[in-house]
Structure 1
Amino acid sequence: MRDLTKYAKAMLMSAMILATTAVMAQQPGISHFRGYDKSAVNQFETSKDDIQPFNGLKVRVGGSFTQTFQALNHENVLDTVAAQFIDNNGDGTDDRELYPLAPGFNLAEANLNLDVQLAKGIRLSLETYLSTRHHSEAWVKGGYIQVDNLPFGDENSFFNQHMFVKVGHMEINYGDGHFRRSDAGNTFQNPFME
């Protein structure tokens, strides 16, 4: 009976892994989309050349998860035994004494990404932080509607070839440094995260 239970658990785990792979393969293509994975490294804006044919409303749901391990060490060069005792808060310990650090795991972080192709050249993006600051809360990082192709006028107009409009609450582009950092659960673009 025990062997049967182990076999059933192994089969269930295998089925879940295969189902996850099948679900990941079903993500629809969205025009003018900057990915959340390593394909977006050194890509700072969406490209006007990235055009997927519009066949109706497309919804893309994704996520990112990070569990980091941290092992820090610190020391104080001041000899707190020989130096004058400083206790401004009255707790009986020297205020210059460092907190004892121990290695451990940081709070797990996750992102939920929702991208929707609404019409030809018009897409919506919403990114939510899950359990980033508190376990039971979700925080919206930002969301916007991006128009790359006007639904009226000439298909080869100046706007459709060279411009786009982004409206909403999003991260303002002050340089490319913020494209190379960790963003809660999404750490794929950070070169220091391994």
Structure 2
Amino acid sequence: MKTTFKISLMIAAIFISGNLLAQTSFGHMQNRISRDKDGINIFDVKKDTVAFKGLSIDLGGAFNMDYQALNSFNDQPSTFALPSNIVGYRLMNNENNFTLPAADMTIGAQLFDGVRVNLNIYLASRHHNDTYASGGYLQIDKLDFIKKDFLAGVMQYATIKIGQMENNFGDAHFRSSDNGSTLKNAFVGNNIMNAFTTDMGMEVYYNRSGLVSMLGVTNGNLNQGIKEVSFSPGPDANTVVSPAILAKLGYDKQINQDLRVRLTGSYYHNANLGNSNLYSSSRSGFGFWGVLNNSDYTNNGVAVANNYNSNSTPEGTFNPGFKNWATSLMFNPLIKFRGLELFGTIELASGGDKASVDAKRTANQFAGDVVYRFGKTEQFYIAGKYNTVSGKLSNADAKEVTVDRVESSIGWFMTKNILAKLDYVSQNYKNYTQFAGNVPTGNANNFYGGNFKGLVFEAVISF
């Protein structure tokens, strides 16, 4: 789905010229969740009463910039105390400085009454050096294009989404950061085991009188293609990728003017994984850069290069590395009383161990955050979060590893579209082996007794 910046500009120019030549309207969008402060804690999809005024164009964007001051530590001894085959090992020092900013663009159009299209573009992101489309989908809230008021009684509560999009597993991703779109996240980091993917598929929603429900299916691929799939070695050699099944069921009710209660349970299953992994598919980066990386050193006379790569899979996240199949359950409670928000995540994941071993392995995550918003328009907040993940990296491992994080943040919405936040983080790694493969001849493991901590200042604009 890659494209170039020139193509993105050309698309925008086409929309703008179409607005001028065809006298289309601008910004009259139906059932769109706001990208500013008003969109916080609006989950899944929504229905509104915006009137259809013909073809209308939507153009938006998001941008964030971080100043990071983090330090990394581990329990690896000084070089002279390491085995003689390892020479010059040390963790890499990071400067207190700005990280690479991230920027998004959203182009949408209201095509028909109850039908709109959305194109999401990463203008600048960590994973790619060029601009590319992260997703595009059609959202259908009415079937009037078939016949006026066709199934109107059903579509009053139902929504259909079709395309390549941020797949709706759990509620945590609605309060998380996605590239330049970080305004709805009270913190800088996402969950340590970050469930995020953008497969091609369809989701059908039915929300009524507090009922929250969704059923979806994807083709199981993050990167699309028609090349024959072959798993060898593996328990299912020479086979096609299985579709992924998604489901959500819950309750969401504004009890009174002050109190809102929401509880959802979500399900994800893929019987035969392809190139998509629910916990490694975020291409926009982790909120904390360059942590627990090593400088150059030698092992048995062989040079070991530093493992800092600004375009690599984000450091600091936990990927259980399921290879054959995966099943995940997520439960998310939300209680909002006036300016106080309590949000939690209970996530139980399991999957096939490796491409040649179909044995079951599990990883469990628990997270809870408290946000208190105050001020005349709740323009200020203070927040705290605790997050822990435990699981074996391989069935052959003797112990589960554990990663836990404490994070606190203060924020100021200068306007609905501009947010400044200061975040403190401390993340710890437990039960990681000292050497790769748990043998002294292996490379030194940076996560052995690992920890990183410090401050991040983040400035956000979203419109």
Place the TM-score, normalised by the shorter chain, in its bin.
0.7 to 0.9
Q: Secondary structure at the match of 2:174?
A: helix
Contact 2:134 2:165 in 1 (8 A): yes
Q: Is contact 1:62-1:112 (8 Å) kept? A: yes
CA distance in 2, matches of 1:77, 1:147: 54
The letter for the 2-side match of 1:29 is H
Q: Which residue of 2 aligns with 1:45?
A: 44
Matching residue of 2:70: 72
Q: Distance in 2 between matches of 1:121 and 1:81?
A: 65
Structure 1, unmatched stretches of 5+, are 1-25
Are 2:91 and 1:98 aligned? Answer: yes
* Residue 3 (structure 1) aligns with: none
What SS does structure 1 have at the residue aligned with 2:81?
A: coil
Output the CA distance in 2 between the equivalents of 1:86 and 1:107.
38
Distance apart, 1:101 and its partner CA: 1.6
Whether the 8 Å CA contact 2:26–2:56 is kept in 1: the answer is no
Relative to total residues, which structure has the larger strand share, 1 or 2? 2
Q: Which consecutive segments of 4 or more residues in structure 1 shift more than 6 A?
A: none
> Cα 1:188–1:27, aligned 2, differ >3 Å: closer, same or farther?
farther
Alignment of 1:1-194 (within 5 A): 28-48=27-47, 50-81=48-79, 83-88=81-86, 92-94=87-89, 97-133=90-126, 137-151=130-144, 152-154=147-149, 157-193=152-188, 194=421
User: Which secondary structure state, in structure 2, belongs to the residue aligned with residue 111 of structure 1?
Assistant: strand
Q: What is the aligned-residue RMSD (CA, Å)?
A: 2.2
Task: Report if aligned partners of 1:87, 1:93 keep a CA contact under 8 Å in 2.
Answer: no
In the TM superposition, residue 181 of structure 1 has moved relative to its aligned partner by 1.1
Residue 76 of structure 1 deviates from its aligned partner by: 3.3
Q: Displacement of 1:157 after TM fit?
A: 2.5
Q: CA deviation at 1:119?
A: 0.7
Asked if structure 1 preserves the Cα contact closer than 8 Å seen for 2:176 and 2:185, the reply is yes
How far does residue 54 in structure 1 lie from its aligned partner after superposition? Answer: 1.0
User: TM-score w.r.t. structure 1 length?
Assistant: 0.76
* 2:193 aligned partner: none
* CA–CA separation in structure 1 for the residues paired with 2:140 and 2:173: 23
Report percent identity of matched pairs: 34
Amino acid at match of 1:46: V
Q: Deviations over 1:39-88 (max 9, x none)?
A: 1111012322x021111111011111111111111223343155134545
Structure 1 position 111, deviation (Å): 0.3
Distance, in Å, in 1 between the alignment partners of 2:127 and 2:75 is 35
Partner residue of 1:23? Answer: none
* Residues 112-150 of structure 1, C-alpha deviations (whole Å, 9 max, x = no match): 011210010000111100121378511211111111011
TM-superposition CA deviations, 1:158-182 (whole Å, max 9, x none) = 3321211111111111111111111
SS in 2 for 1:39: helix
**Structure having the higher Rg:** 1
Note the C-alpha offset of 1:93: 1.1
- After superposition, the Cα gap between the structure-2 partners of 1:107 and 1:135, relative to the gap in structure 1 and judged at 3 Å, is farther
Q: CA deviation at 1:100?
A: 1.4
On the 8 A contact 1:148/1:164 being kept in 2, the answer is yes
State the 1:29 CA deviation: 2.8
| Paired letter, 2:58 | R
Q: What CA distance in whole angstroms lies between the structure 1 residues aligned with 2:105 and 2:95?
A: 31
Q: Is the 8 A contact 2:116 2:139 kept in 1?
A: yes
2: CA distance, partners of 1:116 / 1:87: 61
Structure 2: runs of 5+ lacking an equivalent? 1-24, 189-420, 422-463
- Greater RCO (CA < 8 Å, at least 6 residues apart): 1
- Give the aligned residue type for 2:28: G
